[in-house]
Homo-oligomer: A and B are copies of this chain.
Amino acid sequence: MAPSFTVGADFGTNSVRAVVADCADGRVVGTAVAEYASGERGVLLDPREPHLARQHPGDYLDGMREAVRGALAAAEARAGFERGRVIAIGTETTGSTPLPLDAAARPLALDPRFRRHLAAQAWLWKDHTGAAEAADITAAAERYAPEYLAPIGGRYSSEWFWSKIWRCLKAAPDVFAAAASWVELADYVPAALTGVARPAAIRRSVCAAGHKALYSEAWGGLPSAEFLARLDPRLAELRPRLFERAYPADRPAGRLSAEWAEALGLPAGIPVAMGAFDAHYGAVGAGITVGTLVKIIGTSTCDIAIASAREPLPDIPGICGIVNGSVMPGYYGIEAGQSAVGDLLAWWVERVGGGGDADHARLTAEAAKLAPGESGLLALDWNNGNRTILVDQRLTGLLLGQTLATTRAEVYRALVEATAFGARAIVDRLTEYRVPIERVVCCGGIAEKNALFMQIYADVLGHPMLIAGSPQTPALGGAIAAAVAAGAAAGGYDAFEAAQQRMTALEERRFMPDPQAHRVYDELYALYRQLHDAFGGVSRAADLGAVMKRLLEIRERQVGAGSAT
């Protein structure tokens, strides 16, 4: 059979990346990146409002055109590729990034009247202007609809759909009034590609709806009109103009319009996969299975697991999102995260230490000589709050155990360990609620570059740490979703599992836990949990009088055991 290909496009914070993947083995035969044109690296800012972060929707369309055309051109330079062999396209984006639409399902910001209106743009995931609205939504749900909060970990975020729409209603009522509907960027891109001409026809993904918009079949879709009216009657009026149902990626969003086929240089009518968030298709591209935790490690982390949807899954306290079908059809998608990982190390090395990349490398080398527990230090990884399992942004960092001899490298290692302990708290919580985790697949620069980081995680978690074979797992995940949207008959696959098995890979390097180091980290993790529970407000009668002494005992035992691990 002739080879077939799919296109995956990843809409990031600063750029779009497109890949052309071979359906036989997932090999990327062409890739290209297009930076967004507007604002500061694609982000529209307001000097008077530091929490504001928007994007111009036109940038998405221009960027997609440029990136996909570039990836196709790169692919064409290789033997065996032809545009005619591209059988589908799949896209994924940041989120929650909602934008207002007009009655023709066009972004309001493309209308010259709203071209420069910040409230009419896409509200980027990291826009935090809706903090007060988020708090009010949480409070209202606690009182009137606590079931809404259970699957999102107990707290509605300022980064999410309703906080932003409500904020727009208050801060820019003219924009709110002009909007026929609102759509997540993840759903807008496939809608645009398929030529949808009215908001009601947009096929919404359960990924975006379930994780960010309080959507669940358990209560009949979006939050009730009654509940929304308690927030503001105009939100209740908006509800019927949004959507009734949301769907997993079990069938395509639609077919590529002639106009976009022309613009991208692809065959018209090929399937367009359902949209999803980058982390979710990223997990697909990393080869997620039941028993695998995918960690996308950057400044913070996004952690994705899945569990079979054949049996009901209980709510898991402190886990941000559990949505049936949000990663792959037939599985609960489970989302967690750590608020600061790369950022925490950057804080220590760059902000406090005034250092750069060379210092990261030097401190890593020095830290690698230490045995677990040898520094006597213990830290909490909360400099940016705790996303999972405490779901509390108003927590801060802690460092304990320092003496007059404590070095910068020792603190560096303690901070890496703290993030590993934070990762373990997530894994422990998942397994406690019968979501099995037996291995961890990591994506991101730290995982690829920092062997010490990976070994510490293996030793702390007691599980193998693996690295995704592709550095572009989100875009690859989009290409896999496209292959499934096309189906086996067209040269793709009929199921995600089959597509993943062929189209994903792992790096050969794997980091196995050292049993001796794992035992020491078990002791340190018990102390971490004492601090975690005491300062996180879980334990209200903590006995911490032995913590420093236990660390000194472990340290005295471990001194000189270094360079062994």
Contact = CB atoms under 8 A, between A and B. Distances in A.
State the 4 A-B residue pairs at the shortest beta-carbon distance, nearest first.
A537-B545, A541-B541, A397-B402, A399-B399
10 contacts: A347-B404, A351-B404, A351-B406, A351-B407, A395-B548, A396-B400, A396-B552, A397-B406, A534-B534, A544-B544
A343 B398 contact: no
A558 interface: no
A317 to B, nearest CB: 16
Interface string A536-565: 111111111111110110000000000000
User: What is the interface residue range for chain A against chain B?
Assistant: 35 or more
A212 to B, nearest CB: 24
A544 B534 contact: yes
Nearest to A536: B545
A444 to B, nearest CB: 18
A402, A405, A408: most-surrounded residue (chain B CB, <10 A): A402
A541 to B, nearest CB: 4
Interface of A: 340, 343-344, 346-347, 351-354, 376, 382-384, 394-408, 411, 534-549, 551-552
A404 B384 contact: yes
A397 B394 CA distance: 23
A541 B395 CA distance: 21
Given A544-B534, A545-B540, A548-B535, A401 B396 contact: yes
Nearest to A339: B404
A537 B546 contact: yes
Contacts of A396: 376, 400-403, 548, 551-552
A97 to B, nearest CB: 22
B343 A408 contact: no
Contacts of A343: 404
A548 B406 CA distance: 24
A457 to B, nearest CB: 21
Given A354-B408, A397-B399, A398-B401, 18 more contacts: A347-B402, A347-B404, A352-B411, A353-B353, A376-B396, A382-B548, A383-B406, A394-B549, A396-B401, A396-B402, A396-B552, A397-B402, A397-B403, A398-B398, A398-B400, A399-B400, A541-B541, A542-B542
